[in-house]
Amino acid sequence: MTVTIEHYLLLSAFLFSVGVTGVLTRRNAIVVFMSIELMLNSANLTLVAFSSYLGNSIGHLFVFFVMTVAAAEAAVGLAIIIALFRLKLTTNIDEINILKW
Amino acid sequence: MSLETILFYLFGSLAAIAAVIMITRSNAVISALFLILNMASLAGLYLILNAQFIAVAQIIVYAGAIMVLFLFVIMLLKPENERKFMASSPKVKIFAIFIAAIVFFQFAYMIFLGKPSSLVAQDVDASVQAGTVEEIGRQLFTNYVLPFEAAGFLLLAATIGALVISKKKFE
């Protein structure tokens, strides 16, 4: 019994679905954000698995860039959440509806 | 069972369980701590896949920098706990889980239909070579130098953007 690439892909698909569930069900903006990070991580796992099985480093480079973008996104997103909290005194996304009319 | 198999199932189940616990806890701090556990076990999986540089970067960047930022913001804002996972609007949640299950089964169908393991066989030497810092650094500074510079510029722009957005008022 050996570990094939399908094992990694299935685990990655499962983590992605859990991330989708988190984004759709949670009401706290910060936890929604963490679920998005989980989905990015599952995509990273797919890239690394393929890269390792193909013996090619391009997947690793892509993961490196995904990490950079995730860091930038986390910084800007949390700044937006702080600005929203200052305005509405809540992080519940049901109560943040200032873009609706 | 080889060591690789045992470690895969150990880290894989740890990652899956930590992810499920993360989305079901009502306290945001506990969610963040379980996300850190999930990321650490993913780093273990990267090590099994011979991706040394990515594993260390995962620990430093994700579990270190990004999650500290998240915990810092959670403790700064002190958001009130949500209600228990199924206590509020259970119909919407069941529908969301249904959607996520459809996504998962689509992925699983594609994976078992495509059978990538019949197309690629792991060449261990090439895989170890591809994951070293030397190889990734060489690629970053030769073929991928323009994306690398763009990533640096993106980080600068994000830093300035975060400062401007979270500043008290605009002058």
Look at chain A and count its residues.
101
Quote ipTM for the complex: 0.92
The percentage of chain A sitting over the pLDDT mark of 90, rounded to a whole number, equals 64
B111 alpha-carbon distance from chain centroid: 20
**How far is residue B98's CA from residue B132's CA, in Å, rounded to a whole number?**
41
Q: Could you tell me where the beta strands, DSSP code E, fall in B13-119?
A: none
Is A22–B165 a contact, with Cβ atoms under 8 angstroms apart?
Answer: no
Best mutation target among B9, B23, B39, B81 (most A Cβ atoms within 10 Å) is: B23
Query: Chains A, B: CB contacts under 8 A, how many?
Result: 237
The SS3 call for residue B2 is coil
What are the beta bridge partners of residue A28? A92
List all residues 6 or more positions away from A37 whose beta carbon is below 8 Å from its beta carbon. Answer: A70, A74, B35, B62, B66
Look at chain B and count its residues.
171
pTM: 0.91
Provide, as residue numbers in chain B, all residues whose Cβ is less than 8 Å from the Cβ of A35.
Answer: 22-23
Is B82–A70 a contact, with Cβ atoms under 8 angstroms apart?
Answer: no
User: How confident is the prediction for chain B on average, in pLDDT?
Assistant: 89
**How far is residue B13's CA from residue B11's CA, in Å, rounded to a whole number?**
6
In this prediction, residue B158 carries a pLDDT of 94
In this prediction, residue A33 carries a pLDDT of 92
- Tell whether the model's pLDDT for residue B171 goes beyond 80: no
Is residue A39 within 8 A of residue B123, CB to CB? The reply is no
Is B104–A14 a contact, with Cβ atoms under 8 angstroms apart?
Answer: yes
Q: Could you confirm whether domain A5-88 is CATH 3.30.70.3040? A: no
* Nearest residue, CB atoms, B69 vs list A75, A80, A90: A75
List all residues 6 or more positions away from B153 whose beta carbon is below 8 Å from its beta carbon. Answer: none
CA distance B7 to chain A (A): 10
Which residue is listed with tokens 């599952």?
Answer: A42
* Nearest residue, CB atoms, A34 vs list B32, B158, B163: B32
What are the beta bridge partners of residue A92? A28
Best mutation target among B85, B104, B115 (most A Cβ atoms within 10 Å) is: B104
For residue B127, what pLDDT band results from cuts at 50, 70 and 90? confident
* Nearest residue, CB atoms, B69 vs list A20, A38, A78: A78
In this prediction, residue B10 carries a pLDDT of 95
* Nearest residue, CB atoms, A54 vs list B45, B111, B120: B120
CB atoms within 10 A of CB A57: 25
* pLDDT tens, per residue, chain A with 101 residues: 688 889 999 999 999 999 999 999 988 899 999 999 999 999 999 999 999 999 888 999 999 999 999 999 999 999 999 988 888 888 888 888 878 76
Provide, as residue numbers in chain A, all residues whose Cβ is less than 8 Å from the Cβ of B48.
Answer: 3
Is A79–B165 a contact, with Cβ atoms under 8 angstroms apart?
Answer: yes
Q: Which two tokens stand for residue B145?
A: 């130098």
In this prediction, residue B169 carries a pLDDT of 65
Domain locations in chain A as residue ranges? 5-88
Provide, as residue numbers in chain B, all residues whose Cβ is less than 8 Å from the Cβ of A83.
Answer: 165-166
Is residue A88 within 8 A of residue A96, CB to CB? The reply is yes
Is residue A78 within 8 A of residue B158, CB to CB? The reply is no
The percentage of chain A sitting over the pLDDT mark of 70, rounded to a whole number, equals 98
How many Å from the N-terminal Cα to the C-terminal Cα in chain B?
A: 65
Is residue A49 within 8 A of residue B50, CB to CB? The reply is no
Average pLDDT over residues B113-128: 82
Provide, as residue numbers in chain B, all residues whose Cβ is less than 8 Å from the Cβ of A73.
Answer: 158
**How far is residue A40's CA from residue A43's CA, in Å, rounded to a whole number?**
5
Amino acid, single-letter form, for residue B47: L
Task: Give DSSP secondary structure letters for A19-84.
Answer: HHHHHHH--BHHHHHHHHHHHHHHHHHHHHHHHHHHT-SHHHHHHHHHHHHHHHHHHHHHHHHHHH
- Tell whether the model's pLDDT for residue B87 goes beyond 90: no
Is residue A49 within 8 A of residue B49, CB to CB? The reply is yes
